[in-house]
Amino acid sequence: MVSRTRGRARSAVSAGVAAAALAVAGAVPAAGSLIGDGSFDDGPGAWVAYGHEGEVDTSTGALCVDVPAGSAQYGVGVVLNGVAIEQGSTYTLSYTASATTDVTIRALIGQNGAPYGTVLDTSPALTSTPTPVEEVFTATASYPATATDESPEGQIAFQLGGFTDEAWTFCLDDVELSSDAELLPHTSFAEGLGPWGLYGASDPRFADGEMCVDLPGGQSNPWDAGLAFTGLPVEEGENYVLSFTARTTPATPVRVIVGEAGGAYRTAFEQASAPLGTEATTLDYPFTSSLTFPAEGEAPGQLAFHLGKTGAYEFCISEVSLTTSATPPPPYEPDTGPRVRVNQVGYLPHGPKRATVVTDATQALPWQLLDASGETVAEGTTTPAGHDESSDADVHVVDFSDVDVTGEGFTLVADGETSRPFAIAADLYEQLRYDALNYFYLARSGTPIEAEIVGEEYAREAGHVGVPPNKGDTDVPCIGPREYYDGWTCDYTLDVTGGWYDAGDHGKYVVNGGISVAQLLSTYERTLTAGSAREGALGDSTLRLPERGNGVPDVLDEARWELEWMLKMVAPAGEYAGLVHHKIHDEGWTGLPLMPADDPQVRSLHRPSTAATLNLAAVAAQGARLFREYDAAFADTLLAAARDAYAAAQAHPDVYAPVEAGSDGGGPYDDRDVRDEFYWAAAELFVTTGEEQYAADVTGSPLHTADVFGHGGASWGSVGPLARLTLATVPNDLPGVADVRASVVAAADGYLETQAAHAWGSVYSPPGGQYEWGSNSSVANVLVIIATAYDLTGEQRYLDGVLEGLDYLFGRNALNQSYVTGWGSVFSQNQHSRWFAAQLDPALPHPPAGSLAGGPNSMTSTWDPTMQAAFAQGCAPARCYLDEISSWASNEITINWNSVLSWVASFVADHGQAAPVAVAPEVTTQPQGVTAALGATATLTAAASGTPAPTVQWQVRRGAGAWTDVPGATSGTLTVTVTAQEDGARYRAVFTNTAGTATSQEAAVAVQRVAPAVTRHPAAVSARLGSWATFDAAATGYPAPSVRWQVRWFRGPWLPVPFASSSTLRVPVTPLAYGTQYRAVFTNAAGSAATQPAALTVRLGR
């Protein structure tokens, strides 16, 4: 927000757009053109032409006049008199005009009489094609509609004479003059409400130029109390400015909307949390309406202040204004802080340390790393990286990975900017693993969240347990017949209490719960399978849970809460008995904020789906093997449920969740390809049981040998990677496990290639560069795959890739923002949630520390109204993000986003306590010999594992000489320009770290053999008898071809010319030369080529 002082605080804010409004009475006339209908379908109207030839022609719907040849300046024109202009007002003059010849005319708004002043004077260039013209101006003088003794009347004039000697025709159409106009008939609350309606509050008090009311608190929805004016005409495409002066005590944001007071309650403008404090503040909100609302009817336009809150407060307002505007709202510009972007949390001492600098500089820049006292720790120069399309910015990269000093408060200085502070510490991410996992207890449904566990700020009543106003989840029916379910419903009810609320709403979804449970279980299972996992880090009493101290790892206790709910979602009877209901949620969307216990909506079960059923089969099978040690009976229950669900899915393989199911109060989670779910469920069942039937289904799946690792790793709709990771990391006897593991490593290699090319160090590279909904979760899911490659190989580069990939999430990004609440200097804290809603109601908390925001989303078809308004002029993909609670498309929080963050956080925490044990290099990629054309480049590649990451030095050996270092050749890739000198040269890479050295095999560079090709043919020669004749020829080829000249008489055979082995041939002209022809034959190991013959003509005499 940009603030300025003008008596009272005033702020200019870009508008959001979204939800509902309430109705009161009143009306105001629409604002339109100040000059009436500007078309000429019914004749010229009040418009007058002068100095023209013939009649004014409006037969085509435009006003056309013929301008005589040689007409004088001011001698011909078209005018409209009686136009009132007010000094200081902003106007828009628009029209369409054409001319039968290319000509520049004069168009003005001024006085129809001396002194002939103007407030707009332009020179539009016209052609035969009708040209639309729009001029926006602020009047510097006032003109009356009717002339007075003091001032001539105002007029719009098009002066046509004197601009060309030719005769031509001028045509004018669609003329409109509009200005900022006040739409509200009552703008001051100094003495009364006027036509405004007030509800849900105390009686108003009027004093000191303002109206004040007391809000009682205890209101579930913002619109449970409000101040509204109804009868407001709003036009699509029109620009408006809403301005009001108000205050609240204590400081409390309020919701302000311009929308319809009925019907679907659509909105053209929404500010979900107008920031009001105890001092009167004037807020301006320019916006462009995307909708039209009439002043009357069943859904008239309305301006409303929604004042309902859970806590009591006082609201006071003095003035409000809504005007039309000729000026579109300014584009949204986020405050991105310093141009030096770092991981605001920090860096591990032994890990990569890179930053990104946004700069127009094209040459390397100096940088300095400063400690907390301002002393220089390290310095160097940046590496220019050019233009980054994802952020639409020119950037450089800073690499200070060699720094291993530790501490807090480091900053990086480059290009005159100082980064936000960060730490270099070994225990950097230790708490993040717990913060990310503690999120899930706060997402529990069907149980109170206890203050003694999470503190008063986050404590709340149990939601959806049948206590009014909840309808409860204790006895939930199926949704009534819907066309998108082919009329399906059911005749039973289920107790589906428990589980996790999926995201910012009160819905619970099996497929999103499935991947979330799987990733929590895998976070724990990695402690059993990965050598680098820290023992006990995820044991009992490590999380804030009521189950602490029960002897079971807390992460398993948390996963069990969702597993038990998923078991309740199995259909007990009917057509789909044994399948799992896809979801349960309200039958209508609710507003924000709304605590779970206050949700009054009817809730219903949705049709079972094959995808949901296979999700249960997969996670129940995984849970069965992990709970075996702690609760054998529960493990048996899970395994039986997994088997039954898998069999039910096989019996009903194509019961899909349709996209249309998102129209009744919840997301659809639609999916019409369940091959990946079958693959995942079979894999988990095989790893748990070892049974052949599941092994056959795994190896028989078309996904088993396919590339299942997309640009975003795993997701609820793409679970093939989950199967592959389980098969690769959990011990099992599946044939070809080595290939499975190799596929994970190959996928990780691809992601590292993406990262290496990304100036922000990100591993995310979506198709077409367009960032998708939940892009941050895609980043984290890719990091899981890279981290797994590290677990499989121990290669440092994979660990480094994970650590650098996290930089993006913690601030090294286009917005200079950490997307994890509570982590970093500037972090997301207004994620879309109905109960973590401090932005809307100060009595409620922000999301807890460790909550991952959805992240940039440039897919405009998925944008919420807040994004549509803020980014009306578009945005670079990596900048399409708003930390606004109303932006569900970019700022949602969900269980499956925090589940993957938990996995990654636990992985990096395991690698932060100490530098890894040194391991000598081992060559993993051998260089291969290359044959290339002369002058081309040959590329040799080698790689080696080792800890720490080994350095590399390429060496070359030519002939019988010694091996020598290639200057500057210290990366895994060596590029050699192929010359004759390089033919047969041998290269090798030598890898070195503190633990030892490894040398790759030799790779030879050979020059490609190329047969001769003639480039110059000998020319025919005419020479005098007794003189000498010279012929010349040339050819290319490798090796360089030899040459032999040949001669023949007339058409006889070609014979060698003795000793003729150079490119030039010189022969005596004797009588024997009559009828001779010469040619050159070029030869090398690859072939030969002969020139065209050249004749020798013998002349007599001179």
* Domain CATH for 76: 2.60.120.260
- 237 shares its domain with 198: yes
> Looking at the DSSP assignment, which residues form a beta bridge with residue 3?
11
How far apart (Å, rounded) are the C-alpha atoms in residues 154 and 176? 15
Of 598, 883, 910, 982, the catalytic one is 883
Mean pLDDT of the 223-241 span: 93
1043 close to 1033: Cβ distance less than 8 angstroms? yes
735 close to 699: Cβ distance less than 8 angstroms? yes
- 121 shares its domain with 251: no
Q: What percent of the chain has pLDDT over 90?
A: 82
808 close to 779: Cβ distance less than 8 angstroms? yes
Amino acid at the residue 214 = D
In 10 A of CB 116, how many CB atoms? 12
Mean pLDDT of the 109-124 span: 93
Mean pLDDT of the 439-456 span: 96
Of 306, 832, 846, 911, the catalytic one is 832
474 close to 580: Cβ distance less than 8 angstroms? no
Residue 778: inside a domain, yes or no? Answer: no
pLDDT value at position 10? Answer: 33
Q: For 244-279, what is each residue's pLDDT tens digit?
A: 999 999 999 999 999 999 988 999 999 999 999 999
pLDDT value at position 917? Answer: 62
- 137 shares its domain with 161: yes
In the chain, DSSP finds a helix count (H) and a strand count (E) of 15, 61
- 530 shares its domain with 447: yes
Cα–Cα distances in angstroms (integers) from residue 488 to residues 176, 574, 668, 1045, in the given order: 55, 10, 16, 93
- 216 shares its domain with 297: yes
**Beta strands 281-288 and 8-12, pairing class:** parallel
891 close to 853: Cβ distance less than 8 angstroms? yes
How far apart (Å, rounded) are the C-alpha atoms in residues 969 and 964? 11
Name the residue with higher pLDDT: 671 or 1100: 671
Q: Which residue has the tokens 């920090």?
A: 346
How far apart (Å, rounded) are the C-alpha atoms in residues 715 and 740? 20
Mean pLDDT of the 319-334 span: 88
Q: Is the dihedral of CA 973, 977, 978, 982 positive or negative?
A: negative
Cα 859 → chain centroid: 8
852 close to 809: Cβ distance less than 8 angstroms? yes
In the structure, what pLDDT confidence band is assigned to residue 972 with cuts at 50, 70 and 90?
A: confident
Residue 290: inside a domain, yes or no? Answer: yes
The pair of structure tokens assigned to 656 is 């899909």
Q: What is the C-alpha radius of gyration for the chain, rounded to an integer number of angstroms?
A: 39
**Catalytic (active site) residue 505:** yes
Could you tell me if residue 764 is left (phi over 0), alpha (psi between -120 and 50 degrees) or otherwise beta? Answer: beta
- 376 shares its domain with 476: no
How far apart (Å, rounded) are the C-alpha atoms in residues 945 and 846? 44
The pair of structure tokens assigned to 890 is 């970019």
pLDDT at residue 5 is higher than 50: no
**Catalytic (active site) residue 883:** yes
707 close to 695: Cβ distance less than 8 angstroms? no
Question: What letter would DSSP give residue 1016?
Answer: E
pLDDT value at position 25? Answer: 24
Of 559-573, 713-727, 972-986, which gets the smallest average pLDDT? 972-986
pLDDT value at position 913? Answer: 61
Q: Per the omega criterion (within 30 degrees of 0), is the bond before 593 cis?
A: yes
- 975 shares its domain with 1021: no
pLDDT value at position 32? Answer: 52
Amino acid at the residue 559 = A
pLDDT value at position 90? Answer: 84
How far apart (Å, rounded) are the C-alpha atoms in residues 323 and 894? 39
In the structure, what pLDDT confidence band is assigned to residue 89 with cuts at 50, 70 and 90?
A: confident
pLDDT at residue 15 is higher than 50: no
- 111 shares its domain with 13: no
Q: For 825-857, what is each residue's pLDDT tens digit?
A: 999 999 999 999 999 998 999 999 999 999 999
Q: For 37-51, what is each residue's pLDDT tens digit?
A: 789 999 999 999 999
3-state secondary structure 569-625: CECCCCCCCCCEECEEEECCCCCCCCCHHHCCCCEEECCEEHHHHHHHHHHHHHHHH
Cβ within 8 Å of residue 90, ≥6 positions away: 136, 137, 138, 139, 179, 180, 325, 326, 327
Residue 537: inside a domain, yes or no? Answer: yes
How far apart (Å, rounded) are the C-alpha atoms in residues 388 and 395? 7
In the structure, what pLDDT confidence band is assigned to residue 21 with cuts at 50, 70 and 90?
A: very low
pLDDT value at position 637? Answer: 98
Domain stop point among 123, 148, 178: 178
pLDDT at residue 535 is higher than 80: yes
pTM: predicted TM-score of the whole model, two decimal places: 0.72
Domain stop point among 662, 688, 705: 705
Q: Per the omega criterion (within 30 degrees of 0), is the bond before 222 cis?
A: no
Taking the CA atoms of residue 527, residue 531, residue 534 and residue 536 in that order, the dihedral angle to the nearest 10 degrees is: 50
Q: Which residue has the tokens 């605080």?
A: 9
pLDDT value at position 1054? Answer: 94
Domain stop point among 325, 348, 373: 325
Mean pLDDT of the 655-663 span: 94
Cβ within 8 Å of residue 11, ≥6 positions away: 1, 2, 3, 4, 275, 281, 282, 283, 284
Cα 548-549-555 angle, rounded to 5 deg: 45
In the structure, what pLDDT confidence band is assigned to residue 671 with cuts at 50, 70 and 90?
A: very high
Of 599, 684, 892, 910, the catalytic one is 892
Cα 1058-1059-1064 angle, rounded to 5 deg: 110
Render 137-181 in DSSP notation, one character per residue.
EE-SS-B-SS--SS-PPEEEEEE-TTS-SS-EEEEEEEEEEEE--
The pair of structure tokens assigned to 461 is 């009543």
Question: What letter would DSSP give residue 336?
Answer: -
> Looking at the DSSP assignment, which residues form a beta bridge with residue 977?
937
**Per-chain mean pLDDT for the chain:** 92
493 close to 675: Cβ distance less than 8 angstroms? no
In the structure, what pLDDT confidence band is assigned to residue 310 with cuts at 50, 70 and 90?
A: confident
Cβ burial, residue 595 (10 Å; 0-12/13-18/19+): middle
| CATH value at residue 1033 | 2.60.40.10
- 363 shares its domain with 470: no
Of 153, 505, 670, 910, the catalytic one is 505
Cβ within 8 Å of residue 696, ≥6 positions away: none
How far apart (Å, rounded) are the C-alpha atoms in residues 808 and 342? 8
Residue 715: inside a domain, yes or no? Answer: no
pLDDT at residue 947 is higher than 80: no
3-state secondary structure 265-329: CCEEEEEEEECCCCCCEEEEEEEECCCCECCCCCCCEEEEEECCCCCCEEEEEEEEEEEEECCCC
* Number of structural domains found in the chain: 6
Q: What range does the domain containing 105 cover?
A: 48-178
- 270 shares its domain with 344: no
The total number of residues written for the chain in this structure? 1102
**Catalytic (active site) residue 547:** no
pLDDT value at position 916? Answer: 52
Question: What letter would DSSP give residue 85?
Answer: B
Residue 299: inside a domain, yes or no? Answer: yes
Cα 401-405-406 angle, rounded to 5 deg: 110
How far apart (Å, rounded) are the C-alpha atoms in residues 1009 and 447? 78
Residue 258: inside a domain, yes or no? Answer: yes
Residue 359's φ and ψ, nearest 5 degrees, are -160, 150
Sheet holding 393-399, edge to edge: 340-341, 354-358, 393-399, 383-388
pLDDT value at position 565? Answer: 98
Cα 754-760-764 angle, rounded to 5 deg: 40
How far apart (Å, rounded) are the C-alpha atoms in residues 717 and 1013? 59
In the structure, what pLDDT confidence band is assigned to residue 1097 with cuts at 50, 70 and 90?
A: very high
- 590 shares its domain with 443: yes
Residue 718: inside a domain, yes or no? Answer: no
Q: Is the dihedral of CA 424, 745, 918, 953 positive or negative?
A: negative
Residue 770: inside a domain, yes or no? Answer: no
- 979 shares its domain with 1051: no
Q: For 1068-1086, what is each residue's pLDDT tens digit?
A: 999 999 999 999 999 999 9
Sheet holding 281-288, edge to edge: 2-6, 8-12, 281-288, 239-249, 313-325, 210-215, 205-207
> Looking at the DSSP assignment, which residues form a beta bridge with residue 345?
none
Q: What percent of the chain has pLDDT over 70?
A: 96
Mean pLDDT of the 206-232 span: 94
| CATH value at residue 653 | 1.50.10.10
pLDDT value at position 940? Answer: 93
